[in-house]
Every structure is written in C-alpha cells, then in structure tokens.
Amino acid sequence: MRLSNISKAYGDIIVFDDLSAELPNGAVTQISGESGCGKTTLLRIIAGFEDYSGEITDRTPGKISAVFQEDRLFEELSALENCYLVLHGKPHFDIVEALVSTGLSREDISRPVKELSGGMKRRTAIVRSLCADFGILLLDEPFKGIDPDNKLKTAALIEAYTKGRTVLLVTHDTADIPLKTDGVLSLRGISKNAQK
C-alpha cells in the first residue's frame, strides 16, 4: 500500500503535511509514535473515515476490518452474538473456539457484554474483527487492558487468522507487543501539533 503526499489538518492543527510511506501488503506493520502524533488519524484515513489530501494506491484488495480504541460492542448482546453480527455467510473458523482460545470461558461468551470486564470486552472485539471478511485489518491499541497471559493467547489467534493479509497495528508501547511484526512505520517527527 502506497501513501503519497498525505496531508490532514483539523482547523489550524496540522496532523500530516505531505506524508509518504509504503506499507507492505500481506504483512504486519507496526505504526508507532508518541501520543497525539496521528496514529489513529492515519488508520481512520486508510479506513475511509477521514477526508484528506494526497493519494492511497496499491492497497490490498478486499474489505477493511478494524479494532478501534473503543470496543464498540453491543452491550446487551453476548460476546458470541456480537461476533455473529459481522458475518456475511458461513464463518471461516469456529467462533466459540476462537473466543475460548483468548482465555474467555464458555460461560463468559454467553453473558451480555455489559457484564464482562474491560479485558474480556477487548478480546471479544478482536475476535469479532477476525470474523469479518477482510483483506486489511486495522488494530488500534488492540491489547490494552488484556493481562499478559491472555495477551499472548490473543496475539496467537490474530497471527493464525491473518496470514497473508495486511495488518496495521497501532501502538505507542513498542516494548509490549506480543504480535510478531514485519516492519515499523514511525510517525515520530512527522506529525507536529497533532491530535487524534
């Protein structure tokens, strides 16, 4: 995926001014930088949620799935029901087993999401993103609130179901990433006076 001369501002706040970069298709790219440098904004641009100037070409074919900073789950529905909501046809893996593999119990995944802890909701949001039909997966601080053991389990699940697909992983904590990455795009020094 080629980003060419991407510029974005919110009023007088310049987030990107002529940003160009290449993000390899079919690989996991970590997007790093300090808070407020534009990491989330870049994901929103790639997802088509933000207006910008410049051009994005040569992107991986297919739809985009995402885990946002907010879990964006339907609180009254169960974890399992939240995952089924994004399906268009037969699931390509066993959703119950996928949820359980992240450390959730079979009882947990049948309870309304509003009864789950923050880390449980986060794991549900990640599994839901994998259930969708996608060519590009956008992960915005996906492991926040997940304990170390379940973080490793969840990372293993992501790796298993994203082989050959493009994954963009946003994080500000480069020392605590359980997911193997193929490259890094650092936004340090690129975005000045930025906000998300």
Confidence of residue 33 (pLDDT cuts 50, 70, 90): confident
CATH number at residue 143: 3.40.50.300
* Tokens at 1, concatenated: 């995926």
| Residue 19 covered by a domain | no
| Residue 20 covered by a domain | no
| Residue 142 covered by a domain | yes
pLDDT of 38 over the 80 cut = yes
Distances (CA, A) of 142 to 57, 67, 132, 147: 26, 6, 16, 12
Residue whose pair of structure tokens reads 């996906």 in the numeric block: 142
Q: How far apart are CA 138 and CA 168, in angstroms?
A: 5
Radius of gyration of the chain (CA): 17
The predicted pLDDT at position 190 comes to 54
| Residue 96 covered by a domain | yes
| pLDDT tens digits for range 157-195 | 999 999 999 999 998 766 667 888 899 998 865 544 444
- C-alpha 125 chain-centroid distance: 10
| pLDDT tens digits for range 80-110 | 999 999 998 888 899 999 999 999 999 999 9
Q: How far apart are CA 190 and CA 47, in angstroms?
A: 20
Number of domains in the chain: 1
| Residue 18 covered by a domain | no
